[in-house]
Amino acid sequence: MADQPALQNIDRRRVLRNLSAVWAAAAALPSFAGLSAEALLAAGKSIHQHVARKAAPASRTLKVFNSHQNRTVTALCELIIPQTTTPGAAAARVNEFIDIYLSSLNPSKRLEFLEGLQWIDLRSHELFKKAFVEASAEQQTELLTRLSIVNSAETATGQSFFKLIKSLTAFGYYTSKIGIEEELNFQGWVEYKGCTHPEHQG
- What residue ranges bind other proteins (CB under 8 A)? 79-82, 84, 88, 97, 100-101, 104-106, 141, 144, 148, 150, 166-168, 170-172, 174-177, 180, 183-184, 186-187, 189-197, 200-202
Indicate the residue among 20 and 106 with the shorter CB distance to other proteins: 106
One-letter amino acid for residue 129 of the chain = K
Q: Do 113 and 119 contact (CB within 8 A), yes or no?
A: no
Neighbours of 122 (CB within 10 A): 13
In the complex, least distance from residue 177 CB atom to other proteins, rounded to whole angstroms = 5
Asked if residue 139 lies in contact with residue 127, where contact means CB atoms within 8 angstroms, the answer is yes
Distant-in-sequence, close-in-space partners of 199: CB < 8 Å, separation ≥ 6 = none
Q: Which of residues 2 and 195 has its CB atom nearest to other proteins in the complex?
A: 195
Instruction: Please say which residue, 39 or 184, places its beta carbon nearer to other proteins.
Output: 184
Residues 6+ apart with CB under 8 A from 191: none
Shortest distance, CB of residue 15 to other proteins, whole angstroms?
25
For the bound state, the minimum distance from the C-beta of residue 136 to other proteins, rounded and expressed in Å, comes to 15
